[in-house]
């Protein structure tokens, strides 16, 4: 007779084998991305800890293995999840007592992604500050500021006492300053483009100063010389300024006493200045020609005869209009023409004058 327990045991055995088979198939068919992240330390991270992106679970920690002075953490990223090739791993501690997890940052958008077997170096990854490290830093700071450190001669205590005296009764002013500083920060935040533009222009200016360093040094040396001169002659400068002040007082009094006469004189100068303005073209031409004319006068002077010798260039006389009469021998005059004799019977311009042999005068 068959025992009723045997079919039950056989059924349980088959169920266990089926479950194991499903687990094995799932493990063997897992096509997730495996990543190795290196950390200087990995406190609170264990196999099975969450792997997240933007706080969302996308995988888990497979193993944590110390390797000398570093820790190797193997990460399994769920199938279909992509992470940027330049991502970094962060150990995140939500609170002091909460479980820690590894987060990959930043989230993927475009570009190359991490492939299976990729490694994230320790220089790229970050871990939180441990509470014992914080306590050690505070202890070290307190020792450095204590009686065996910066306060060995009471300097820190004196600084605190002086600060307390200076701040006493100034709480409202300090609060107002903080508020105004906040407003200024908001203003800068709203004008960030202009602010950075100003910084760019300032950089351009400083670059120009760097390129012109020699000229800047020369200008500074010249300025030092001027300042030194003023310092050496400060008494003379002070006396000159005093005399200038007295002169200005006298000028002020003179103007006050003669205001009417000065106005009349200025009014009389108006027509003269207007004439100068109207004739500014002629004056400019006269000033341009005056040096040449003076030179010609000097060259024309004959010291032997004490006369000014000159000679007319008849070829430059325009023939387009009547010429002025020229005196000739016998009192006759030429009225102009292309040649021949004049209307009075004298020789024309082309004829030789009896006085021509006497020299040009």
Q: What tokens does 9 get?
A: 């045991």
Of 30-34, 198-202, 326-330, which has the strongest mean pLDDT? 198-202
Per-residue pLDDT band at 157 (split at 50, 70, 90): confident
- Print the domain residue range for 80: 30-133
Whether residue 50 is found in the same domain as residue 84: yes
User: For residue 89, is pLDDT > 90?
Assistant: yes
In a domain? residue 138: no
In a domain? residue 76: yes
In a domain? residue 82: yes
Per-residue pLDDT band at 356 (split at 50, 70, 90): very low
Whether residue 111 is found in the same domain as residue 97: yes
Tell me the pLDDT of the chain averaged across its residues: 80
Q: In sequence order, what DSSP letters do the residues of 12-69 get, joined into one string?
A: HHHHHHHHHHHHHHHHHT--PEEEEEEES--TT--TT-EEEETTEEEEEEEEEEEETT
Distance in angstroms (rounded) separating the CA atoms of residues 102 and 120: 13
User: For residue 65, is pLDDT > 90?
Assistant: yes
Per-residue pLDDT band at 313 (split at 50, 70, 90): low
User: For residue 342, is pLDDT > 60?
Assistant: no
Whether residue 81 is found in the same domain as residue 112: yes
In a domain? residue 239: yes
Whether residue 231 is found in the same domain as residue 277: no
Whether residue 273 is found in the same domain as residue 242: no
Give yes or no for a contact between 348 and 342, defined as CB atoms under 8 angstroms apart. Answer: yes
Question: Can you give the pLDDT at residue 82?
Answer: 92
> Which of the listed residues 133, 151, 167 is the one where a domain comes to its end?
133
DSSP assignment, residue 126? B
User: For residue 217, is pLDDT > 50?
Assistant: yes
The domain total for the chain is: 3
Give yes or no for a cis peptide into 278 (omega within 30° of 0).
Answer: no
In a domain? residue 318: no
Whether residue 60 is found in the same domain as residue 121: yes
User: For residue 278, is pLDDT > 80?
Assistant: yes
User: For residue 329, is pLDDT > 60?
Assistant: no
Which residues are within 8 A (CB) of 88 and not within 5 positions of it... i.e. 6 or more apart? 104, 105, 120, 124, 125, 126
Whether residue 203 is found in the same domain as residue 267: no
> Collapsing DSSP states into helix, strand and coil, what is residue 71?
strand
Distance in angstroms (rounded) separating the CA atoms of residues 191 and 203: 18
Of 22-31, 41-50, 318-327, which has the strongest mean pLDDT? 41-50
Q: Identify the residue with better confidence: 61 or 318.
A: 61
> Which of the listed residues 88, 107, 133 is the one where a domain comes to its end?
133
What is the mean predicted confidence (pLDDT) over 77-101?
Answer: 89
């Amino acid at each position: 007779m068959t025992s009723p327990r045997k079919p039950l045991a056989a059924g349980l055995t088959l169920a266990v084998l089926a479950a194991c088979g499903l687990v094995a198939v799932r493990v063997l068919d897992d096509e997730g991305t495996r990543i190795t992240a290196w950390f200087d330390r990995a406190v609170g991270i264990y196999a099975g800890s969450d792997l997240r992106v933007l706080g969302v679970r996308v995988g888990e920690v497979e193993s944590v293995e110390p390797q000398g002075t570093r820790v190797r953490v193997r990460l399994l990223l769920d199938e279909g999840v992509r992470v940027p090739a330049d991502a970094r791993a962060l150990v995140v501690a939500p609170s002091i007592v909460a479980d820690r997890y590894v987060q990959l940052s930043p989230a993927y958008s475009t570009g190359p992604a991490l492939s299976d077997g990729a490694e994230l170096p320790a220089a790229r990854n970050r871990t939180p500050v441990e509470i014992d490290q914080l306590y050690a830093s505070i202890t070290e700071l307190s020792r450095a500021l204590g009686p065996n450190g910066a306060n060995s001669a009471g300097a820190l205590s004196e600084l605190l006492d002086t600060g307390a005296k200076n701040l006493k009764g100034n709480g409202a002013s300090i609060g107002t300053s903080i508020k105004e500083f906040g407003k200024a920060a908001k203003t800068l935040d709203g004008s960030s483009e202009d602010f950075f533009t100003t910084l760019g222009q300032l950089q351009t200016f400083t670059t120009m100063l760097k390129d012109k360093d020699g000229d800047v040094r020369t200008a500074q040396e010249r300025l030092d010389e001027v300042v030194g001169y003023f310092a050496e002659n400060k008494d003379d400068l002070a006396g000159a300024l005093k005399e200038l002040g007295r002169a200005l007082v006298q000028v002020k009094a003179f103007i006050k006493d003669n205001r009417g006469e000065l106005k009349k004189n200025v009014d009389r100068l108006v027509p003269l200045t207007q004439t100068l303005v109207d004739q500014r073209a002629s004056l400019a031409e006269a000033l341009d020609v005056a040096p040449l004319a003076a030179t010609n006068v000097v060259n024309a002077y004959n010291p032997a005869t004490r006369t000014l010798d000159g000679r007319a260039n008849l070829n430059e006389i325009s023939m387009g209009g009547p010429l002025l009469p020229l005196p000739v021998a016998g009192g006759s005059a030429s009225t102009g023409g292309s040649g021949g004799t004049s209307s009075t019977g004298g020789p024309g311009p082309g004829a030789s004058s009896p006085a021509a042999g006497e020299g040009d005068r």
